[in-house]
Amino acid sequence: MSGNGVRGPADWHRAWGNYDDEALAALASTGLLRRAGKDVEAGKVGWHPDGGAAAGLVAADGQRVELAIQGPGGARCDCPAPGICKHILAAALWLRAPAATDAPAAAATEGATEAGQAGVLDEVLALDQDALFKAAGTAAVRKAAGMLAGLGRVDIAEQGAVLVIAIPELDLVCRYVAGTGYEGMVSGAAPRLAKALHLLALAAVWHAHGRVLPWPAQAGTAPSDADTTPSTGGVSAEERRFLLHARALVHETCAAGWSHVSDIAAPQLRALATSARVESFPRLAGLLRGLAGIADLLAARDFGADEAQALQLAAQAHALIHALGAPAAQADPALLARLRGTARRSFEAGATLELLPLGSYWWEARSGARGLTSAFWDPQAGQVRQAVLARRDDSDPGFSKDGAWARHSLWPGAGAAAALAGKALVLEEPRLAEDGRLGTGGATRASTQPAWLLRDSRWQEAGFDDWSALREAIAGTAGLLGEPLDMVLLRPAACEQPQLDEAAQQLTWRIRDRAGRSLTLRLPYEAWKAARLDNVEAWAASGDTIAGVGARLERGGQGLLEPVTLLVGRDARVHPVSLDFEAGQARPMLATRIRRMLRGRTAPAAAPAVRGHGRVVHALLAQLERKAMSGHLHLARRDDELHALRPTLLALGLDGLAHLLARYLAAPDVGRALALYHAGQTCLELDTGFL
């Protein structure tokens, strides 16, 4: 029996009648809902003879469904299927139909639905928060409170009697159904996470409408905190179970082979990323989200899909999972906190951020994504910060290279990227995304000031003017504990003229630091980079003082540093030059020769030469990538080419890598292959080959 005091058909209509098809599909699947609808159409659903509406019992295709006042999520069926079955869905569909009751009941239901349509948002805002916290439980309250502060955009929409709450960064859509309360909410969240995520969704609605959230003391955090830092305590038993599950799923996905990844892999990885965020593993969540994105492309046979990148992220995730559970992390709270990562998304309330614009650059990815990245020097943090305007594909015809540069505003008060040249920028209420980038739009407001003088101490201390310090900084970002670094500000003491490398189909440009040490920047030719190649050559020959260079960093044994912006002296002030958009005075000759040389060709540019140890590590990774594509990471033949690499690794002094290779060849499995691949990648990251 339901035991909830509901006795009439109209009462069940009020409790169940507001669940639309989308809400019901979120409980199970669209296919199961379709089959349930066919049972209703065939007349296989009605009140059960053992008590009917008074007892809250429905007969559906020969099964007995016990209704619950909180909706289908609390119902029970006597069939052997676990969770929400076809019969529960059929009962929900049948209870929506007026034929299920007499006319007065139907009228009552119609009135309830209309009331729900008019006030489902008001109903959510009027919920008793103390009762809600009690229903959710201490663990769910703690998790929801910890995530709310770092939450990004939340989309809230009323759809009839349903309030739809979407949280894009968690790939989560929750539905609150009028009249059913917190316990009647539905989403695609895993059952063990549903309480916390549903509470988070409601809290986001309250927060969006300016409601103060009186979190109980046991929540352990306040949603007004700007920095959401996970607990620094040891990994709990529940978290260990999650990490084991995460490792098993990553291994399972790799074992299937990245060249024929299944359609279900991406949703599974995405759900796992959500779980990682809830379990206070933000860094792992980011890796899993990236892996899910690549799995989507691979499953769709997208030309931009990259199996090697999938293996790289899987290896990083495997290494991070192992490190999180290692004794060293349990004994060192600071180390564990760094491995967990943080979900910082904003500065202190009322903070301001003073920035020097470094210019902007355009980029295009093989997946079809494209965008404009604007770089800024932050003197307080001593680092480059970036803001991105981007689109995943060509679905937005209004977004173009020239439009993003000249028309799309970054923040109110700042204007487009093109308008920032020759100015300094002050941001009020700045926001940071999880990857450290500046969030555009939102509540942030901008104002401009005169650009910095070349003699300003803030400029004299900016970036790197010592290439040995640059090497140390880049090497320090390698491995699990390294922070992302994809752009650096260089302040050269002297610049040579760019040179054409015809074999590699690129321009090379040597710049020197204050000690006279040389650093080689490279600009590989691609058709969409033509203006960049022209302009770097023209500006280098223009006679203007080049006070700084903004360079993109691509990690690995080749160590590519590609100039994308310049900082030139103009009227004794620092003036940014965006190489994709601003032409110099001199006539470019070398870039023109590259285009003439490649006219009509489709072959990719030759890879730059790699030093001896780099070649061996690249060969090792290439072998593992081929195995990962076919799903053969767990296999190693006697004639496997990997056997021949071990003596060379030992001869080069790469003993640790040689040991991991020997361990893998002795007992090949996915876990050992991922550990070996990650170690090889770290070796390449530590090798800054451009210096």
Q: Which helix (H) or strand (E) segment is 65 a member of?
A: strand 63-66
Q: Give the Cα separation of 627 and 255 in Å (integer).
A: 10
- Residue 281: pLDDT above 60? yes
Q: What is the mean pLDDT of the chain?
A: 84
In this predicted model, what pLDDT tens digit does every residue of 303-315 receive, in sequence order? Answer: 667 788 899 999 9
CA distances from 460 to 447, 489, 520, 567, 572 (A): 23, 12, 22, 13, 13
- Residue 563: pLDDT above 90? yes
Q: Which residue from 190, 480, 478 is spatially nearest to 318, judged by alpha carbons?
A: 480
At 36 the three-state DSSP class reads helix
Q: Which residue from 688, 666, 664 is spatially nearest to 677, judged by alpha carbons?
A: 664
Residues for the chain: how many in total?
691
In contact, 5 and 96? CB cutoff 8 Å: no
Q: Which of 200-204, 294-298, 656-660 has the lowest mean pLDDT?
A: 294-298
Q: Give the Cα separation of 500 and 510 in Å (integer).
A: 12
Strand ranges inside 150-280, DSSP E: 155-159, 162-167, 172-177
Buried b / exposed e over 345-361, threshold 16 CB at 10 Å, is bbbeeeeebbbbbbbbb
Q: Which residue from 423, 405, 403, 404 is spatially nearest to 413, judged by alpha carbons?
A: 423
DSSP 573: E
Q: Which of 190-199, 556-565, 574-583, 634-643 has the lowest mean pLDDT?
A: 556-565
What is the per-residue pLDDT for 480?
A: 83
What is the per-residue pLDDT for 350?
A: 64
In contact, 86 and 61? CB cutoff 8 Å: yes
What is the per-residue pLDDT for 222?
A: 40
Q: Region 439-448: what's the mean pLDDT?
A: 85
Q: Give the Cα separation of 442 and 430 in Å (integer).
A: 9
In contact, 634 and 668? CB cutoff 8 Å: yes
- Residue 221: pLDDT above 80? no
At 305 the three-state DSSP class reads coil
Q: Report CA torsion sign: 59, 60, 64, 70.
A: negative
What is the DSSP track for 76-114? EESSS--SS-HHHHHHHHHHHSGGGS-HHHHHHHHHHHH
Residue 12 pLDDT grade (very low, low, confident, very high; cuts 50, 70, 90) = confident
Q: Give the Cα separation of 251 and 215 in Å (integer).
A: 39
Q: What is the CA radius of gyration of the chain?
A: 29
In this predicted model, what pLDDT tens digit does every residue of 50-65 receive, in sequence order? Answer: 888 888 899 999 999 9
Phi, psi of 175 (to 5 degrees): -125, 125
- Residue 472: pLDDT above 60? yes
Strand pairing class (423-428; 445-450): antiparallel
In contact, 59 and 49? CB cutoff 8 Å: yes
Q: Give the Cα separation of 440 and 438 in Å (integer).
A: 6
- Residue 172: pLDDT above 80? yes
- For residue 411, the cross-strand partners are 415
Look-up: residue for tokens 């790469």? 654
Q: Which residue from 405, 451, 397, 441 is spatially nearest to 576, judged by alpha carbons?
A: 451
Look-up: residue for tokens 């080419």? 641
